[in-house]
Amino acid sequence: MEKGKTRRQALYFPSDMLDELQVEAERLDRSFSWLIQQAWRLARTEMAKVPSTTDYLPDLNDDDEEELRSA
């Protein structure tokens, strides 16, 4: 995404987490949006380490892929 370009996105948080985030945003004298953006920037590399649901699927070799296409 281009720097400075914004778009709206609805995010849903449990109420207790939302309260904590709001308190932290107020403590930092920053917006809720700013807080979430900073949290993502800090957590991005850690989140990349979390396996996706497809990481557990067996790898297909070329023969398996050809059989699936012809089926």
7 domain residue, yes or no: no
Domain that holds residue 23: 12-51
Does the structure show a pLDDT above 80 at 62?
A: no
Rg of the chain over Cα atoms, rounded to whole angstroms, equals: 20
- Let me know if residue 4 belongs to a domain: no
Residue 3 lies in a domain: no
- CA dist list (Å): 41 to 9, 46, 71: 17, 10, 44
- Both tokens of residue 34? 């700013």
pTM beyond 0.75: the answer is: no
6 found inside a domain: no
Domain-located, residue 26: yes
36 is a domain residue: yes
Query: Could you give the CA distance from residue 7 to residue 33 in angstroms, rounded to a whole number?
Result: 12
Tokens read off for 1: 């995404």
Note the pLDDT tens digit of each residue in 19-41: 999 999 999 999 999 999 999 99
Task: Examine residue 69 and state whether it is found in any structural domain, yes or no.
Answer: no
How many domains are there within the chain?
A: 1
33 in a structural domain = yes
pLDDT of residue 5: 83
Nearest to 40 by CA among 67, 19, 14, 9: 9
Asked if pLDDT for residue 68 goes beyond 70, the answer is no
